[in-house]
Structure 1
């Protein structure tokens, strides 16, 4: 009686174990959780290239005088900030060194510090303009410069040649030194003199050089010549003396003949 009970317990245990094992084998495996792939962050936009105006003016042409004014007035920082820290850029009109040397009247040395700063700022527009833009810009004249206020320029485009009129001086763009957004640098033939400083009267063209005057001393007779001339006037000429002598002889001849005729009649 004890053996069948033991056998029954063992058989029941084996049956339960086999059922459990079969259930584990028959059940489908649990799904594996998928880890989402992270989206890569977009690469940062490259920083805009820094434009060094000092470098361009140093190597591009004979612009040292204008660059010296920019540095002495510390306006180079204003130009650099406008070029690199704004979205509109800058356009600069640069006179050659010879333009400053030929500027004799008026003289920039007579300007106050404020006037000199305004004159330098007068050579820049607070926006980038390519050469092709000046045709349209000529219809919008006058155009405000970086000096602001009444410091304006008038533009005309004559078959591609850009002319500038400051109200006191006129010049033209002779070449493009650098023209890539955000900075445009153009060479001009003359220093731009604002009407707000120098007035509205454009200086006349220089008068032609007068012909050399011959000194009167070169043609004037010497003292001896004057004395000789006076002597010649005071003394009769030889021909006049001859005529006087001839007249005297003729008179004596007539007198002698008259006396002789009278004596003949008496005798």
Structure 2
């Protein structure tokens, strides 16, 4: 009986040791859970976005004709930096008379389109710091830079040829920021220096007024002396004296004749 009890105790101990070894082995061999992968950025179809917003039809047409839309799309969805695009509305293109875009070569037009984006995502709040960093390079390269000015949240862009404002934020979720601007961005690298402002018009010549004409219809001679009121008054006062001096001899002669005639009659 005692032998059976010893065998049972040994069997229990052996089973406990085997159980502990298996538990320890399972604990060592089980891999630790890997961290969850970071969510991929949302895919943004720029062609669809520009087709719906805006209207940016003319801008999109030029992006597609120059294949720049492919460059922008790749930057938006295959890089960590993202992209910031400045899109002029159709009216900005249709109202542009000088300089004309019709005279640009295909390479110049492509550079012009690349000039409308920065290879990094910027929210509206980021432009305050960006404005303090000086010129910012665009997709077109170092010669095609933009200057930003943030005035209490109102952001303006200076291309060297002209200035324009960001009039609205169309889309701003990393990795894509799309902003509407009021004018086409014209780089100096293509169009040269901006023309100087037109001179102020010359003042109009003095016009003639009715007050310059005498009542008789003839204009006064500016070189003739003008009579003063005192001179006119003196002339008027001298007329009776002159008339008296003229008629005094006549009256004396008549009186003499009458006297002579009376003597003859007597």
Superposition TM-score tier, normalisation by shorter sequence: 0.5 to 0.7
Relative to the length of structure 2, the TM-score reads 0.66
Equivalent residue number for residue 225 of structure 1: none
Which structure has the greater CA radius of gyration? 1
Structure 1: runs of 5 or more not aligned:
1-17, 209-267
**Post-superposition offset of 1:86:** 1.4
1:92-132 Cα shifts (integer Å, max 9, x gaps): 11000011101122211111111001000101111111111
**Partner of 1:160 in structure 2?**
153
What's 1:60 paired with?
53
1:202-241 equivalence runs, <5 A = 202=195, 204=197
Counterpart of 1:23 in structure 2 is 6
Question: Relative to 1, partners in 2 of residues 1:121 and 1:153: Cα closer, same or farther, differing over 3 Å?
Answer: same
Distance 2:158 2:172 in 1: 21
Q: CA RMSD in A?
A: 2.2
Q: Which residue of 2 aligns with 1:36?
A: 26
Alignment partner, residue 236 of structure 1: none
Q: How does 1:164-203 map to 2 (within 5 A)?
A: 164-202=157-195
Is the CA contact (8 Å cut-off) linking 1:167 and 1:202 kept in structure 2? no
TM-score (norm 1): 0.66
**In the aligned structure 1, how far is the partner of 2:199 from the partner of 2:177?**
33
Q: How far is the alpha carbon of 1:20 from its aligned partner?
A: 4.9
Distance 1:133 1:47, change over 3 A: closer
- Give runs of ≥4 in structure 1 deviating > 6 Å: 205-208
Counterpart CA distance in 1 for 2:150 and 2:84 is: 16
**C-alpha contact (below 8 Å) 1:169/1:202 kept by paired residues:** no
